[in-house]
Amino acid sequence: MARRKQPNLVLQLAQTYVREHLPELQGAELHLRRLDGPPDSPRYSATAEVCIARTCPHGTSATIAAAGQCTIHSCPLRHSVRLLLDEHGTVLHATRDGIHWG
């Protein structure tokens, strides 16, 4: 049986990718999720988001937005990314958008 990689290693590799390729998301908390699927599919998704608004036009507080819990699904004031990673922590795909990956 193949040995599973530690999620912490995958998270560290995702953080390195964000640090090197997505400077606007520096300091954003990454949320790692394990995925199910066929053998050649991505094994993890990592998401991060930041809100660049000083005051939200939708009335969401800054602390809620900073925690990644904004209730607005798509917002032009949000910078977000979803990384799909394999079992070794290699980024297979990166999607940058203004949506909240829930």
Alpha helices, H only, 1-102: 7-21, 62-66
Per-residue pLDDT reduced to its tens digit, 5-46 = 566 899 999 999 999 999 988 888 899 999 998 988 999 999
SS3 state at 95 = strand
Q: Report the C-alpha gap between 94 and 14 in whole angstroms.
A: 11
pTM: 0.81
Q: Report the C-alpha gap between 80 and 86 in whole angstroms.
A: 20
**CATH architecture of the region 7-97:** 2-Layer Sandwich (3.30)
Name the strand (E) or helix (H) holding 48. strand 44-51
